Amino acid sequence: MRWALFYPLQSPDSPRPACPRTSPVPASRRPAEPFYNQGVTSGLLKVILIICGSLCVALGVIGIFLPLMPTTVFLLLAAACYARSSERFYQRLVNNRLLGHYIRSRGRGMRRRDKAITLGMLWVGIGATMIWTAESTWLRLVLLGIALSVTVHVARLPAFRALPAAGAEDVPA
């Protein structure tokens, strides 16, 4: 029934057209397969993608602890590499209890708890830098401006809360 996706004018129960030229949707207008359904057939390319995905996971984990390294970007790259090379690695990453929410919540915002932790660490770090490191007034004002703009940005992100049930999907707040 997979062919039914490409022939939207026919019911899924009708037989497949005998010739693509007589199908109601021209071949040039049929949607392409999503990238995650296009598996790689070359063994060497699969190994390379798995290595790149693993490297991106490692960089993403490092990014959790280092403030200037992005986490979500590297985890999304890892998910893309794994989706093209290994379904098992992809599922393990997406369903991971520590890293999976970075991928599943992409584009939806941040959890309220994560917002509070992010803003708390931001203000402690910027405050400590302003007090003990920045000696000139203009540098302190620049740091204050950066902290205020990041605070406004994080505050404007949509917030959602996780359901208390284990394994449940996150819902908007």
pLDDT tens, position by position, 21-63: 554 555 555 555 554 455 566 788 999 999 999 999 999 999 8
- Tell me which residue of 69, 94, 79 sits closest to 34, measured CA to CA: 79
In the block, tokens 């917030």 appear at: 159
DSSP 117-149: HHHHHHHHHHHHHHHHT--SHHHHHHHHHHHHH
Determine the length of the chain.
173
pLDDT of residue 52: 95
The pTM of this model reads 0.52
pLDDT of res. 72: 83
18 three-state secondary structure: coil
Distance, in Å, from the CA atom of 134 to the CA atom of 45, rounded to the nearest integer, reads: 49
CA–CA distances in Å: residue 114 to residues 15, 60, 64, 84, 100: 51, 16, 12, 30, 15
Percent share of the chain, pLDDT over 90: 31
